[in-house]
Structure 1
Amino acid sequence: MKLESNASIQIQKPVAVVFEGIVNPANMTQYFISESTGRLETGKEVIWKFPEFDEKFPITEIDIKTNRSISYVWDPDTVVTITLEQLPDQSTVVRVNEKGKEFNEANLKWALENSGGWANFLACMKAYLEYGIQLRKGAFDFMRNN
């Protein structure tokens, strides 16, 4: 049995704006990561850094379907898929799915924590794209070197 982590939210912006908010590091560094070596593009590999961690995370196996989905690996055991659905009112539903880990106690803890993490990612993206607010700034400073 494989575990999955899921989260979703509706953002009051057109799908093209939300898509750029995810693939463009100039946007992602405003609400999610602190550094990126480049734009998310199919077949490319980038490195992400988060403000609260010293580690750098390679983002591999990137697969982009413009304005529809973004898929990548950042944990060798899982695949992250972000799907975008534009609604008639020009808002966008964003769904995040991360799956692949085998069911065991440690991975169950991972799935629960990641579901919360993805919900936070979506809330931060919504606040930034809709209102220009950086919710993540300083939010996880307590985790440094812990």
Structure 2
Amino acid sequence: MEFRVRVSGRIAKPVHEVFEAVADPAKLSGFFTTGGAKGRIAPGAVVTWDFADFPGAFPVRVAEVIEDQRIVLHWGAAPGTASDPSGDTTVTMTFEQLEDGRTLVTILEEGWLPTEEGLKASFGNNEGWTGMLCAMKVYLEHGINLRAGFYK
């Protein structure tokens, strides 16, 4: 059995605006990557995300992009916690335009070993993705960087 985490939330903005908040490094840096993001999310790209709470830029490999619908990423898990020999987990973000004008964002991360360390790592990332969705909602709907000063 493999551990996986799934979080979702609705953001009161059109799907393209929400998709761009993740794909555009300047926008992502405005609410999530507290140390900055470099590189646009595009198929085959390797971008970097830096966080004040986990200093040091993380390489993020972009596996798939369907504009305004789906982003699939691979990034490094804590040593010894991922089931993939590369040490990466897989993150799939989906963006669905709802009839009421909002966008449903769902983030699924999978690929941890079924060990105590894998469970701990998956829970930590679940907390991170939940925080990301909350921060994205507040940033896009109200222009507030929820994470500013939160970690430092």
What SS does structure 2 have at the residue aligned with 1:54? strand
1:3 touches 1:103 (CA, 8 Å); kept in 2? Answer: yes
How many pairs align? 141
Q: Counterpart of 1:94 in structure 2: which amino acid?
A: V
What SS does structure 1 have at the residue aligned with 2:74? strand
Structure 2 match to 1:38 = 39
Structure 2 match to 1:112 = 123
Structure 2 match to 1:95 = 106
Structure 2 match to 1:11 = 11
1:12 touches 1:130 (CA, 8 Å); kept in 2? Answer: yes
2 CA distance for matches of 1:66 and 1:94? Answer: 13
Unaligned runs of 5+ in 1: 142-146
| Deviation >6 Å, runs of 4+ | none
Q: 1:50 deviation in Å?
A: 1.4
Query: TM-score, normalization: structure 1?
Result: 0.92
1 CA distance for matches of 2:132 and 2:139? Answer: 11
Moved more, 129-138 or 106-115: 106-115
What SS does structure 2 have at the residue aligned with 1:55? strand
1:40 touches 1:62 (CA, 8 Å); kept in 2? Answer: no
Query: TM-score, normalization: structure 2?
Result: 0.88
What SS does structure 1 have at the residue aligned with 2:121? helix
2 CA distance for matches of 1:61 and 1:13? Answer: 24
1:45 touches 1:62 (CA, 8 Å); kept in 2? Answer: no
Q: 1:52 deviation in Å?
A: 3.0
Unaligned runs of 5+ in 2: 77-86
The two structures, once aligned, show a CA RMSD in angstroms of: 1.1
2 CA distance for matches of 1:62 and 1:28? Answer: 18
Q: 1:102 deviation in Å?
A: 1.4
